Chain A
Amino acid sequence: MDQVISLTLKVWRQNGPDDAGAFQTYQAEGISQDASFLEMLDIVNERLIEEGTEPITFESDCREGICGTCGLMINGKAHGPELGTATCQLHMRKFNDGDHITIEPWRAVSFPVIKDLAVERTPLDLIIEAGGYISVPTGSAPDANLTPVPKEAADMAFDAAACIGCGACVAACPNSAAQLFTSAKLNHLNLLPQGQAERWQRAENMVETMEMYFGTCTNHGECHEACPKEISLDFIAFMNRDYVKAKIKNRKLAGQR
């Protein structure tokens, strides 16, 4: 199939973090349905460059759905209409000839726009820095299977580790909460034996860093629907449990009153 479609794009253009920004309309004629959404934008950008205007800035890297760099609000849906799909894996065959598509950047106060559709997601990195790691003594690599891991724990940790940190959960959340991201990164380590030593410090530090930058969860469940990796809401519940436990346990561990 080599269908060619024409689209009307309404794209958010913003010159810098302090610019007000506005929508601009572009005609995208003759787009192959085999193109991905980002390739469609590439074609539009090439034409803009030929015209001598500034191309639309958007972020992308691997274009195979595993890096978490791309992320656009397409017609009000994070990563577009397909469930469990990142923007780069969304193809134009999901759209029809003559469609109007509104493209916006992620919206949240802690995600300031860098330019056009690119937003700064540093607060997500700060949450990882607060505890999204394990400390191991370096040396020769340990023997394989030295630490037994129950199959169920391994499976769940793997589901959590699938998070690519794109920020779609924050963008889709009506409260701009980063609960799904934080809980995935937290549980990915807290479910495994290797993560146990720092489990309670990790829970406390990551959650408190998250709360410095993001809104609060009201259990709508929009984040799960937006997530390109379909991270489960269950992890948010596990995080809520671990956090209050951590508040009690850390006090005991540190010998406080």
Chain B
Amino acid sequence: MAQTLSRSGRGPQPLRPRKKQLPFPLNIYQTAIGRKWVMALTGIGLLGFVVAHMIGNLHVYEGPARMAEYAETLRTLGGGLVPRGTILWILRLGLIAMFGLHIHSAYSLKEISRKASPKAGFVGGAKQYSGGQDFIAANFASRTMRWTGPIILLYLLYHIADLTWGWWLGDDFVHGDPYHNLSESLSSLPVAIIYIVANVALAVHIFHGAWSMFQSLGINNPKYNKARVAIAAGLAGLILVGNLSFPILTQAGLIDEDNRECAVEDFDDEHDILICLEEQLEEEG
């Protein structure tokens, strides 16, 4: 052990004096390691959502009718057992809670680290040595988590306003016809660029997150540790390819409204478009 020279009493002042413990499950969240657990567990939930969302969106390649059917299936999850939209709203509330916890734990942990190293300067997320600290192990993904995170959050808000609420499409927005909304929105080049940039940030975020969560949760076995990096890279790659295909192929013209059987401009009422799409589906069998 190092021999330590002590100036006065017992070392420097603690950065975070120990607080009174809250009742059981909450006291875990009071600690930094507990917060890392929460970040990892909510990360798994959010990752599951991102993968499911990407796979579900692949229905867009089956045409407008199938896409509308998929959207309707999500709203009627649970069949006749629960009122329409109930399960979907439960899932949404779960996602909002997971986002909230994920962001709060990330932000509060960052604050603790910032307090632990301000004197050394806190530039670009890292303390700086004058000798120029060369990162040996830390990669681009791990050092940019605190930038890719907020980018994803801003993109998420934009994405919901764009394709769920239809803020920018205005009269062009047809509720219940996601194929139409998607091709209308993504056929504009600036919008496609926003989607591409945000999804690259998402993949970078997932690459570090998917590896890091094993470590935070203590899932570690020297026999399988190499597989953890492969899993993280595979997941990030899968999501990158799947999600980037939508803006790129819309720009390339593969997802467009030409030759559409139920062309939106032929109808006055939104409801009639949906009926037309349903009929088309029945004809296809």
Q: Does A69 contact B (CB under 8 A)?
A: yes
- Residue in A closest to B124 when the chains form the complex, CB atoms: A174
Q: Does A251 contact B (CB under 8 A)?
A: yes
Enumerate 24 A-B pairs (CB-CB under 8 Å) in ascending A order. A59-B3, A68-B2, A73-B131, A77-B131, A109-B118, A110-B15, A122-B6, A123-B11, A125-B4, A174-B138, A176-B116, A176-B120, A177-B113, A208-B31, A214-B116, A215-B115, A217-B32, A219-B142, A220-B138, A220-B142, A237-B219, A240-B216, A241-B218, A256-B24
Q: Does A55 contact B (CB under 8 A)?
A: no
Rounded to whole Å, the gap between the CB of B242 and the closest CB of chain A is 26
Given contacts A102-B129, A212-B16, 20 further A-B contacts (CB under 8 A): A77-B134, A120-B7, A122-B11, A123-B11, A125-B11, A126-B11, A174-B127, A176-B113, A212-B15, A212-B17, A213-B12, A217-B36, A219-B212, A219-B216, A220-B142, A220-B143, A233-B215, A237-B214, A240-B37, A241-B219
Contact A124 B2 (CB under 8 A): yes
Contact A222 B113 (CB under 8 A): no
How many pairs, one residue from A and one from B, have CB atoms within 8 Å of each other in the complex? 215
Q: How far is the CA of A220 from the CA of B32 in the complex (A)?
A: 16
Hey, which chain B residues are within 8 Å of A233, CB to CB? Answer: 215
Rounded to whole Å, the gap between the CB of B259 and the closest CB of chain A is 50
Hey, which chain B residues are within 8 Å of A125, CB to CB? Answer: 1, 4, 11
From A59, A123, A234, A244, contact of B12 by CB (8 A): A123
Q: C-beta contact mask, B1-29 vs A, less than 8 Å → 1, else 0? A: 11111110011101111100001100110
Q: How far is the CA of A220 from the CA of B136 in the complex (A)?
A: 9
Contact A212 B211 (CB under 8 A): no
- Residue in A closest to B221 when the chains form the complex, CB atoms: A234
Contact B218 A215 (CB under 8 A): no
Interface centre among B33, B137, B215 (most CB of A within 10 A): B33
Contact A218 B145 (CB under 8 A): yes
- Residue in B closest to A175 when the chains form the complex, CB atoms: B113
Q: Does A47 contact B (CB under 8 A)?
A: no
Please report which residues of chain A, range 66-80, place their CB below 8 angstroms from some CB of chain B when the two chains form the complex: 67-69, 73-77
Q: How many A residues, CB 8 Å from partner? A: 73
Hey, which chain A residues are within 8 Å of B31, CB to CB? Answer: 207-208, 211, 243, 247
Hey, which chain B residues are within 8 Å of A93, CB to CB? Answer: none
Hey, which chain B residues are within 8 Å of A98, CB to CB? Answer: none
Contact A251 B143 (CB under 8 A): no
Q: How far is the CA of A134 from the CA of B75 in the complex (A)?
A: 59
- Residue in B closest to A101 when the chains form the complex, CB atoms: B131
- Residue in B closest to A16 when the chains form the complex, CB atoms: B7
Hey, which chain A residues are within 8 Å of B91, CB to CB? Answer: none
Residues of chain B having any CB pair with chain A under 8 Å: 1-7, 10-12, 14-18, 23-24, 27-28, 31-37, 109, 112-120, 125-127, 129-138, 142-143, 145, 208, 211-212, 214-220, 222, 225
Q: How far is the CA of A108 from the CA of B16 in the complex (A)?
A: 14
Contact A107 B5 (CB under 8 A): no
Hey, which chain B residues are within 8 Å of A63, CB to CB? Answer: none
Q: Does A65 contact B (CB under 8 A)?
A: no
Hey, which chain A residues are within 8 Å of B27, CB to CB? Answer: 247
Q: How far is the CA of A12 from the CA of B119 in the complex (A)?
A: 14
Q: Does A116 contact B (CB under 8 A)?
A: no
Q: How far is the CA of A251 from the CA of B216 in the complex (A)?
A: 22
From B2, B17, B129, B135, contact of A167 by CB (8 A): B2
Q: Does A17 contact B (CB under 8 A)?
A: yes
Hey, which chain B residues are within 8 Å of A17, CB to CB? Answer: 7
Contact A257 B24 (CB under 8 A): yes
Contact A222 B135 (CB under 8 A): yes
Contact A109 B215 (CB under 8 A): no
Q: How far is the CA of A217 from the CA of B16 in the complex (A)?
A: 16
Hey, which chain B residues are within 8 Å of A69, CB to CB? Answer: 2-3
Hey, which chain A residues are within 8 Å of B23, CB to CB? Answer: 257
Contact A67 B3 (CB under 8 A): yes
- Residue in B closest to A122 when the chains form the complex, CB atoms: B11
- Which 6 A-B pairs rank lowest in CB-CB distance, beginning with the nearest? A241-B218, A122-B11, A221-B137, A237-B220, A215-B116, A102-B131
